[in-house]
Amino acid sequence: MRRAIFPGSFDPLTLGHYDIIQRGITLFDELYIAIGINADKKYMFSLEERKKFIEEAFKNEPKIKVVTYKGLTVDFCKEINAGFILRGLRNPGDFEFEKAIAHTNRHLSEIETVFLLTSSGKSYISSSIVRDVIRNGGNYSVLVPDTVIANNKP
């Protein structure tokens, strides 16, 4: 069985994430959307909210499981017997950053990282941009799945 994880903070889930997940499920038998827990990071949305956004967005997709984890991503991969890490790339900066992480992960384990380019119409979207739009009262509906809008009551 080809099991992969797509790790991230998903604060919040964006259409860029959604794009990678939709395309990733065609490559794997199971795809774990793994929300990393970092106690030192300040989030706009609670862990429960972020998990709910994702669960509702993919409630009809049996190949997807939404989980949370702490610690190293490769350790979590070993824990759930995932052989792959799925990552999305928006731009050359993402590639350089993700390449370094992928090489480190490969050095620490036998887990392969699979990169997908974000669809061109979504390559500009990032969670930090979405958070800024939300903080400033802008229309973020074109940047996130409907489940984020429906569950975000400012």
By annotation, the residues acting in catalysis are: 17, 41, 90, 127
What crossing angle do the helices spanning 73-80 and 92-108 adopt, rounded to 10°?
A: 60
Contacts of 69 (CB under 8 A, 6+ apart): 7, 34, 35, 36, 37, 76, 79
Is the CB of residue 71 less than 8 Å from the CB of residue 105?
Answer: no
Amino acid identity, residue 87? R
Sheet bearing 30-36, strands edge to edge: 64-69, 30-36, 3-8, 84-89, 112-117
Task: Please tell me the distance from the alpha carbon of residue 4 to that of residue 97, in angstroms, as a whole number.
Answer: 20
